[in-house]
Structure 1
């Protein structure tokens, strides 16, 4: 039913133990294993952001495809897909086109689906229908 697009390559990494003070702007893919104290903003319509299990972002997060398994304290905006993995902790409002939320993920904020008439706004992580 849904056409799978190839994910952009992860070209940048914020390594574990690294703390960045200030905004991060990126294209293609970015993986965060450390901490960012500032906004993390993608350019382009096919961007991928991965916030790993031990990562922390204190600021706004915006990308086409966002995968969170760490801690985000700020608003999250996913233009195409937001994946909240089991250890995800989000404190802030979320805007998304499609949402996949695993058991154990925690959101302290409001969920706002972007308007779409072609596809459902929620995909169950345990479902085999996607």
Structure 2
């Protein structure tokens, strides 16, 4: 049985020839066909890395679907699905991982649920200060 390869609704598309450097944060589903370097972050969102995408980033998302090139670590709270002709150089971590035949993977694989993303320390301190004064 073939697994579902893409989400029902892609809310954002980064097309071929587009380059982003820095932190890319999103909700829902994003498809990347261009180049990204830095961080890709979404608490529960899905990232689809297309066949022509080149990603050099730390990825921390709900679900990752990889068909392109990733140099960096991938952490997913729900699952990671990897399809040919994907090339991953870096560690992957998710409670459910599927890697199909024909994929290049060089790294460590851990099938535990990643820790939740850290809340900004400044936001926590602001909340504490508000409670003290109130």
TM-score, scaled to structure 1: 0.78
Greater per-residue strand proportion: 1
1:66 aligns with 2:64: yes
Shift of 1:8: 6.5
Show CA shifts across 1:4-41 (max 9, x none): 9xx57321111110011111000111100000011111
How many residue pairs end up in the alignment? 108
Question: CA separation in 2, counterparts of 1:62 and 1:12?
Answer: 17
Unaligned runs of 5+ in 1: 116-130
Pairwise mapping of residues 1-130 of structure 1 onto structure 2 (< 5 A)?
Answer: 7=7, 9-43=9-43, 45=44, 47-114=45-112
Q: Deviations over 1:97-122 (max 9, x none)?
A: 1111111111111001106xxxxxxx
Higher-Rg member (1/2)? 2
SS in 2 for 1:39: strand
Q: Which has the higher helix share?
A: 2
Query: Structure 2: which 5+ residue stretches go unaligned?
Result: 114-134
Q: Equivalent residue for 2:123?
A: none
Partner of 1:124: none
TM-score relative to the length of structure 2: 0.76
> RMSD in angstroms over aligned alpha carbons?
1.6
